Amino acid sequence: MNFEKALRAIIDSLPYMLGGVWVTVGLIVGALALGFVLGVPLAVIQVYGRTLARRLVVLYVWLFRGVPILVLIFLFYFGILPHLGLDSAFLAGVIVLGLTSAAYQSQIFRGAIQSLPAGQLKAARALGMTDTQAISCIVLPQALRLSIPGWSNEFSILLKDSALVMVISVQEIMARTRSVAGRTHEPVAMALFAGVLFFILTWIGLRLLRGLERRVRIKGYSQEGSV
Amino acid sequence: MSVASQAKGQNQEILRVEKLNKSFGTNHVLKDATLTLRKGELKVLIGPSGGGKSTLLQCMNFLIPPDSGRIWLDGVEILGHKKRELYAYRQQVGMIFQDFNLFDHLSALGNVRIALTRVRGMSRKDATDRAMAELDRVGLAAKAGLYPAQLSGGQKQRVSIARALAMDPKVLLLDEPTSALDPELIGEVLAVVKDLATAGMTMIMATHQITFSAQLASEFVFMEQGAIIEHDSPAALLAPGACTRTKAFCAKINELTGEPV
């Protein structure tokens, strides 16, 4: 490998690659948000819902955890979304990653909800709260705090899975890496560069989540849990 | 016209349950429990663990829906399957739990305030004032900003009492409020219960604190294997020479704690 030529390729492609970073950030923020908005109600339904609703959630989770993201991307981009008048590859990426993440996030939230002492829900009901009030005022504020460590796992996995949408030509980091590598014949240097970009994004995200975890920690609890 | 609305003053019926039954699978844990709470009285549920005391109390506000039986509050029958009615009913029936069940993510003040703002629809300021007044009543105004994990067991239970009282309940159900506490902390909770009894709060309390409750209770209700098998004034049940199941049970407890009956 010609070191100078490799460095040249990286430096010349820097603005172009940073554009890709923003596309990746857009994908992951959109997908995590969609996954959160769907994942929370899915978890609540799976814990507190009626039998039929619970079964539907289980089916959803089973489907989206069971089918490869790559298959879902082709299915949605070429099969389902065009029928709904959506032909944006970026949007298809956000939707597929978001629906998949919803399945995983729902199980993170479910675990957190079920780890709370059941007595608190009883106490909320005894005060005359409706189930909706008890879940939104008592259960979720605590369950979501407990979910942050598991959720940061989901974030870092989804961030790297987001590279899969290059197959429908979304111009995120890996798609641009490949085209620069092809043009400059520096695949190894560009792969390393892409790896560094993903690493930095993961690091920033995990730092933010760790900060959030500290900021919302309940008083009287330490790193090791309740005193 | 109902019996309740005819009666006046001290004899006024607040809460009446009739023939409550509950089974978990083949385990018949509550058998035809019937009792009446009159205004200002304290009934004390005693009996061995697993005797159905906790199930009875939780059936009384439908936290455990009874399989059969009827419940009246102030002479009005409560039908547990009507959601609106049930939520309104529970606001009027306060409940204290053995393990406090405080909301861990809220301060003492937040615990007392949340139902006032969310259920009662009070403004945050009014709710804060009311919550502080209730915390003051249980001697915890200075601890309002602390979280459950920062409070002692006795303090937690007093917060939970304040939380229930803030809703202006017509009756208070206490499910072994001191059973999870160290001997040193029991006293501070019992003092609050005593103040409430003196102030005329209508209460039913499951407890093993026999000596304490014998002084305050209008009636002992003895439960065993899911059924109420004796109920009378503590004096009558514990009278010298009385040959009651209650007396035998209390003697056994006091033998352990070293207190005379």
Q: Quick check: is A157 in a domain?
A: yes
Cα–Cα distance between B51 and B47 in angstroms, integer?
A: 6
For strands A225-226 and A221-222, give the pairing: antiparallel
- pLDDT, position A227: 52
Q: Quick check: is A225 in a domain?
A: no
pLDDT tens, residue by residue, B72-129 = 999 999 988 889 999 999 999 999 999 999 999 999 999 999 999 999 999 999 999 9
Cα–Cα distance between B206 and B47 in angstroms, integer?
A: 9
- pLDDT, position B57: 96
- pLDDT, position B2: 44
* A127, A145, A226: best to mutate for the B interface, most B CBs within 10 A: A127
Q: Quick check: is A222 in a domain?
A: no
Q: Which residue ranges of chain B lie beneath pLDDT 50?
A: 1-8
Task: Count H helices and E strands in chain B, helices first.
Answer: 10, 10
pTM attached to this predicted model: 0.90
Q: Which residues of A touch B (CB under 8 A)?
A: 117, 119-120, 122-130, 133, 137-138, 141-142, 145, 218-221, 226-227
Q: Quick check: is A24 in a domain?
A: yes
- pLDDT, position B183: 84
Q: Where are the beta strands (DSSP E) in chain A?
A: 221-222, 225-226
Task: Tell me the residue range of the domain where A138 lies.
Answer: 3-216
Q: Quick check: is A96 in a domain?
A: yes
Q: Quick check: is A23 in a domain?
A: yes
Q: Which residues of B touch A133 (CB under 8 A)?
A: 118-119
- pLDDT, position B258: 66
pLDDT tens, residue by residue, B113-134 = 999 999 999 999 999 999 999 9
| Total CB pairs under 8 A between chain A and B | 82
Backbone angles phi, psi at B200, to 5 degrees: 90, 20
Q: Which residues of A touch B101 (CB under 8 A)?
A: 117, 119-120, 122-123
- pLDDT, position B259: 62
DSSP for residue B235: H
Instruction: Check if B124 contacts A (Cβ < 8 Å).
Output: no
Cα–Cα distance between B120 and B130 in angstroms, integer?
A: 12
Helix (H, G, I), strand (E, B) or coil at A186: coil
Contacts of A176 (CB under 8 A, 6+ apart): A13, A16, A17, A19, A20
**Tens-digit pLDDT string for chain A (227 aa):** 588 999 999 999 999 999 999 999 999 999 999 999 999 999 999 999 999 999 999 999 999 999 999 999 999 999 999 999 998 999 999 999 999 999 999 999 999 999 999 999 999 999 999 999 999 999 999 999 999 999 999 999 999 999 999 999 999 999 999 999 999 999 999 999 999 999 999 999 999 999 999 999 998 887 777 65
CATH code for position A174: 1.10.3720.10
The reply to whether residue A126 touches residue B118, judged by beta carbons under 8 angstroms, is no
- pLDDT, position B251: 84
- pLDDT, position B260: 58
Q: Quick check: is A101 in a domain?
A: yes
Cα–Cα distance between B134 and B141 in angstroms, integer?
A: 8
- Enclosing H/E stretch for A10: helix A3-48
Nearest residue to A225 (alpha-carbon basis) of B63, B135, B149, B78: B149
The DSSP line for A104-123 is HHHHHHHHHHHHS-THHHHH
The reply to whether residue B87 touches residue A137, judged by beta carbons under 8 angstroms, is no
- pLDDT, position A143: 97
What is the domain count for chain A? Answer: 1
Q: Quick check: is A189 in a domain?
A: yes
| Closest-approach residue (CA) in chain B for A119 | B101
- pLDDT, position B241: 80
